[in-house]
């Protein structure tokens, strides 16, 4: 395993105080990584090729699937194709991403093509118009997505985001921050800050809003914040406590937890009708609702059997069915986008760890090593799981691939981080 520490200093704010420094430590297996080279010619002075190259190389390396070789060690301008492929092959590359940044009729473009060095052919070729509003990071991540998907057949997730909560301890108080950041650690922005507890962030299906729990009224209540405008609304009228928000994938409903007659039950809020229906009815605790991908089923944590376990129940009609039986504690289910797996917090007698539960095979596999791991969420391509862990008593985020090929530790300098959730 090779370890690399990238210090990503993100200073996005004009004001000097509110910036975030995220460090990402990548621990990955080298065996089986595909050797690739990235070379970008720059004929237009307006856009720096190095920026595109650095971002794409960082994406590919950080995926765990690629070994990025130095393209400057080989001549890349040979016109004879078979000679060029022979040179790339000799340098050890299986794939070669060749891009040109150029101007034409007053417009700037980046054109890129992916060469399969072994098969000696171009597998994909695209061009992207660049203008003063072009976001170089986003375009680079898109190029990474396209070539990643072409080579591996797996959906690229380089342009996805995470939301998470951080806490900063000051002399006599604590500041809670809700952050949104790019998955590579850049653009980390605290979209809401409070001296009262913030928890349970969750993305809207379109990734344009985040629902979360805030204690600003001295009790847990659900708020929805629109990212583009910063507008915040409280989900429910009144002073009652509510927690664990979960958006239905069709965006019509929000499931949440609230107490009734001394028990914690799950309710469903209908956005268009502004109505509430009760979803669970049992003595004890029902919480942590998670919708199935078709909005027809809800997974949730219940202690109705005496210990916390994962259950599922159809939204319309039907009984709750217990899914987990292994261990003494299974909670906080997050469903994969294909609906086949749950990532959960599991205690099999050796601390609280992250496990993946196969809904088809009813098989549970532990994928983390900590004793206080929690808050798992799948990457949009289901190949990785993001969760919160502790390192020397400090809260960190960990992203690990299901096959153990790659593990990333994400830390925020000077602050505890927790409750990460991957965007859709």
Partner 1 sequence: MFKGFVKNLVILSVIIFIAGCSMLPKKDPDVIITTEPMLTKPQEGEIDKITTADSINLDFVDDEGLTLGNNIIYFDYDKYSVDKKEDKLIIKKYSSYMKKYRNSTVRIEGHADERGSRAYNLALGEKRAENIKEILLINGVSKDSIEVVSYGEENPATEGANEDAHSLNRRVEIVFSNSGK
The nearer residue to partner 1, 153 or 230, going by C-beta atoms, is 230
Q: Of 146, 276, 359, 366, which one interacts with partner 1 (CB under 8 A)? A: 146
* C-alpha span between 410 and 373 (Å, rounded): 14
Q: Compute how many other C-beta atoms are within 10 angstroms of the C-beta atom of residue 239.
A: 9
Contact between 282 and partner 1 by CB under 8 A: the answer reads no
Closest CA to 38 of 79, 90, 98: 98
Minimal distance in Å, beta carbon 53 to partner 1? Answer: 18
Place of tokens 């605790």: 285
Instruction: Out of 20, 44, 287, 368, point to the residue binding partner 1 (CB under 8 A).
Output: 287
Residue 386, token pair as written in the block: 């993001």
CA distance 413 to 424: 26
CB of 208 to partner 1, least distance (A): 4
CB of 324 to partner 1, least distance (A): 13
Give 33 or 285: the residue with its C-beta nearer to partner 1. 285
Q: How far is the CB of 64 from partner 1 (least distance, A)?
A: 24
Contact status: 288 vs partner 1 (CB under 8 A): yes
Given 58, 67, 94, 187, the residue binding partner 1 (CB under 8 A): 187
What is the C-alpha R_g of the chain? 23
Phi-psi sector, 150: left (phi>0), alpha (psi -120 to 50), beta: alpha
- Interface residue with partner 1, options 211, 224, 331, 384 (CB under 8 A): 331
Secondary structure (DSSP) of 195-214 = SS-EEEEEE-TTSSEEEEEE
Q: Which of 241, 282, 295, 402 binds partner 1 (CB under 8 A)?
A: 241
- Name the phi and psi angles at 264, rounded to 5: -95, 120
For partner 1, the binding residue among 109, 295, 402, 409 (CB under 8 A) is: 109
Is residue 76 at the binding interface for partner 1, with CB under 8 A as the rule?
Answer: no
Structural contact between residues 287 and 264, judged by C-beta atoms closer than 8 angstroms: yes
Q: Which is closer to partner 1, CB of 264 or CB of 298? A: 264
**Does residue 229 belong to the site contacting partner 1 (CB under 8 A)?**
yes
CA distance 386 to 419: 9
Total chain residues near partner 1 (CB under 8 A): 80
Span 4-63, contacts to partner 1 by CB under 8 A: 12-15, 17-18
For CA atoms 97, 103, 105, 110, give the dihedral sign: positive
Which residue, 208 or 403, is less far from partner 1 as judged by CB?
A: 208
Q: Which is nearer to partner 1, 229 or 272 (CB)?
A: 229
Q: Is 329 in the site for partner 1 (CB under 8 A)?
A: yes
- Taking Cα atoms as reference points, which of 377, 375, 404, 409 lies closest to residue 392? 409
Closer residue to partner 1, CB minimum distance, 301 or 312:
301
Pairing of strands 406-412, 20-28: antiparallel
Task: Tell me which residue of 228, 258, 341, 244 sits closest to 293, measured CA to CA.
Answer: 341
Residue 228 binds to partner 1 (criterion: CB under 8 A): yes
Assess 113 for contact with partner 1 (CB under 8 A): no
Q: Are 285 and 270 in contact (CB under 8 A)?
A: no
State the Cα–Cα distance between residues 141 and 108, nearest whole angstrom: 18
Residue span binding partner 1 (CB under 8 A) among the ranges 27-35, 270-278, 329-337, 378-386: 329-337
Residue 70 Cβ, how far from partner 1 at the closest point, in Å?
28
Closest contact distance (angstroms) between CB of 394 and partner 1 is 12
Q: Does 375 bind partner 1 (CB under 8 A)?
A: yes
Nearer to partner 1, 93 or 130 (CB): 130
Interaction of residue 191 with partner 1, rule CB under 8 A: yes
| CA 66/CA 242 separation, integer angstroms | 45
Task: Supply the minimum distance, in Å, between the C-beta of residue 378 and partner 1.
Answer: 16
Q: Quick one: 147 exposed, middle or buried, by C-beta within 10 A (0-12, 13-18, 19+)? A: buried
The binding track of 251-270 with respect to partner 1, each residue x by CB under 8 A or -, is ------x-x--xxx------
């Amino acid at each position: 395993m090779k370890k690399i520490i990238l210090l990503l200093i993100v200073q996005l704010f004009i004001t000097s105080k509110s910036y975030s420094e995220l460090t990402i430590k990548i621990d990955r297996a080298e065996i089986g990584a595909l050797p690739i080279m990235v070379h970008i010619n720059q004929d237009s002075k307006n856009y720096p090729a190095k920026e595109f190259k650095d971002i794409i190389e960082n994406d590919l390396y950080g995926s765990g699937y690629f070994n990025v070789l130095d393209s400057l060690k080989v001549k890349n301008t040979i016109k004879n194709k078979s000679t060029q492929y022979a040179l790339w092959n000799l340098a050890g590359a299986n794939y070669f991403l060749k891009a040109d940044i150029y101007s034409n009729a007053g417009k700037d473009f980046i054109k890129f093509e992916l060469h399969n060095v072994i098969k000696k052919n171009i597998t994909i070729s695209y061009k992207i118009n660049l203008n003063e509003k072009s976001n170089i990071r986003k375009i680079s991540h898109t190029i990474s997505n396209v070539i990643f998907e072409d080579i591996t057949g797996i959906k690229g997730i380089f342009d996805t985001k995470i939301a998470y909560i951080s806490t900063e301890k000051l002399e006599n108080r604590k500041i809670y921050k809700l952050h949104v950041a790019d998955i590579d650690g850049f653009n980390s922005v605290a979209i809401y800050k409070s001296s009262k507890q913030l928890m349970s962030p969750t993305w809207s299906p379109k990734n344009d809003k985040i629902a979360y729990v805030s204690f600003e009224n001295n009790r847990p209540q659900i708020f929805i914040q629109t990212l583009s405008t910063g507008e915040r609304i409280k989900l429910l009228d009144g002073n009652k406590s509510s927690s664990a928000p979960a958006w239905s994938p069709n965006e019509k409903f929000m499931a949440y937890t609230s107490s009734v007659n001394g028990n914690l039950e799950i309710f469903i809020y209908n956005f268009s009708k502004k109505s509430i229906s009760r979803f669970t009815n049992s003595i004890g605790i029902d919480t942590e609702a998670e919708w199935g991908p078709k909005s027809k089923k809800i997974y949730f944590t219940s202690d109705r059997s005496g210990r916390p376990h994962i259950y599922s129940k159809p939204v319309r009609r039907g009984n709750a069915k217990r899914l987990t039986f292994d261990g003494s504690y299974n909670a906080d289910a997050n469903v994969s986008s294909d609906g086949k797996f749950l990532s959960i917090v599991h205690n099999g007698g050796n601390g609280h760890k992250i496990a993946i539960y196969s809904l088809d095979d009813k098989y549970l596999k532990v994928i983390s090593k900590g004793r206080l791991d929690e808050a798992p969420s799948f990457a949009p391509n289901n190949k990785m799981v993001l969760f919160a862990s502790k390192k020397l008593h400090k809260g960190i985020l960990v992203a690990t691939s299901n096959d153990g090929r790659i593990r990333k530790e994400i830390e925020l300098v000077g602050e505890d981080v927790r409750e990460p959730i991957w965007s859709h």
